[in-house]
A and B are shown apart, each in its own frame.
Chain A
C-alpha cells in the first residue's frame, strides 16, 4: 500500500512547471523583457493587451503558468540550497520559505490576474 506522500506531488508540480517554463518563457522573455521595452518591436497597444489578458481563458492559463513556474522554482531552489550550499541544518526553514513563497506567489497571481479580467 502506497503511503500518501507529498514528495511525488511536489515533483510532479516541479516537472509540469519545468515543461511550461521551457516552452513558454523564452518567447515571453524575448518579447516582454527585451523587444517591447527596447522598442525592437512596437509594443502592443494597451487596449489590445488588456483585451488579451482580460480574456478569462488567458487569465486562467496564466494563473496555471505562474503557479507552476513558481512551484518549479521552489522545488529546484530548495535542492540547490541543500546541495549547492550544503545548508542541511536549516532544512525546515528552507522548505517553508521555498514552497511558502510559491504558494504566496500563486495567491498574488490570482489576485493580480483577477484585476484585469
Chain B
C-alpha cells in the first residue's frame, strides 16, 4: 500500500490529437494501424471481382476495365504499399510475440523472420500458379 497522494496541483501535460506526428516511430505505428483500412478495401475489391466473375465473362471484362481506371490503380498502388508495410511489420514482430522452441532451444528471431518470408514465397508462387495456369 502506498501513502503517496496525487497532488491536485500537479501539472498534466495534455495529449495532442496529433501525438502520432511527434515522433517518427509513432508515425510508423499510426501508418501500420492504418494499413488495416487497405486490407479491408482489398477484401471489398476481391469481393467485387468474385461477384463479377460469377455474373459472366462480360461482367468480368468490365470489372477489369474498371480496375484499370486511374483512380482505382492509384488506390491499389497505395494499397500495395500499405499491405507491404503490414507484412513487414507483422513478420518483424512475430518473434517478439511468440517463443518458438526446437528441441529445447529457443529459435533465434532472424530464423523466425526468415521462415515467414519463405512461407510468403511459397504461398505467392502457389497463388500465381493457380490463377495463371
Contacts and interface: CB of A to CB of B under 8 A. Distances in A.
A28 B57 contact: no
Nearest to A32: B49
Nearest to B26: A84
The majority secondary structure among interface residues of chain B is helix
Q: How large is the interface on B (under 10, 10 to 19, 20 to 34, 35 or more residues)?
A: 35 or more
A80 B34 contact: yes
A103 to B, nearest CB: 13
A53 B77 contact: no
B33 A84 contact: yes
B128 A27 contact: yes
B56 A26 contact: no
A25 B50 contact: no
Interface of B: 15, 17, 20, 30, 33-34, 36-37, 39-40, 42-47, 49-51, 53-57, 60-61, 64-65, 67-68, 72-73, 76-77, 79-80, 83-84, 86-87, 90-91, 116, 119-120, 123-124, 127-128, 130-133
